[in-house]
Amino acid sequence: EAAVTQSPRNKVTVTGGNVTLSCRQTNSHNYMYWYRQDTGHGLRLIHYSYGAGNLQIGDVPDGYKATRTTQEDFFLLLELASPSQTSLYFCASSDGLGQGLAPLFGEGTRLSVL
């Protein structure tokens, strides 16, 4: 069964802390995405990738790095976390949008930066 698994599910850190959010997909999809969800803003794209070693800038990339180490694994890095990065983060994967195949989302990671 197609799956996108995120870890951890919840994370609390302090301002200036170092955080890594992990995402693994078992769908053999080429594309992987990181979004953040905030009330009043919907889902906003941070970074995405179309394969191992590739990284594309999204719409709200400031303060975030990402790395795609394998076809399956995509990481989001916050090296100096700030309270403005408190949010619900979603990872997704897709096989490209041209065939009408919608990205499949994980269950999310709730991050609090104190």
Partner 1 sequence: QQKVQQSPESLSVPEGGMASFNCTSSDRNFQYFWWYRQHSGEGPKALMSIFSDGDKKEGRFTAHLNKASLHVSLHIRDSQPSDSALYFCAASETGANTGKLTFGHGTILRVHP
Applying CB under 8 A, which residues contact partner 1?
Answer: 4, 30-31, 33, 35, 40-45, 48, 50, 56, 58-59, 90, 94, 96-98, 100, 102-108
Query: Cβ of residue 1: shortest distance to partner 1, in angstroms?
Result: 14
- Short-list 77, 104, 72, CA closest to 91: 104
Cβ proximity to partner 1, 17 vs 52, nearer residue? 52
Cβ proximity to partner 1, 35 vs 113, nearer residue? 35
Ordered strands of the 65-68 beta sheet: 4-7, 19-25, 73-78, 65-68
Cβ proximity to partner 1, 63 vs 108, nearer residue? 108
Query: Cβ of residue 90: shortest distance to partner 1, in angstroms?
Result: 6
State the Cα–Cα distance between residues 75 and 99, nearest whole angstrom.
Answer: 26
Cβ proximity to partner 1, 17 vs 104, nearer residue? 104
Let me know: does 54 contact 83? Beta carbons within 8 Å: no
Query: Cβ of residue 79: shortest distance to partner 1, in angstroms?
Result: 24
For residue 27, with 0-12 CB atoms within 10 Å meaning exposed, 13-18 middle and 19 or more buried, which class applies?
A: middle
Query: Cβ of residue 46: shortest distance to partner 1, in angstroms?
Result: 12
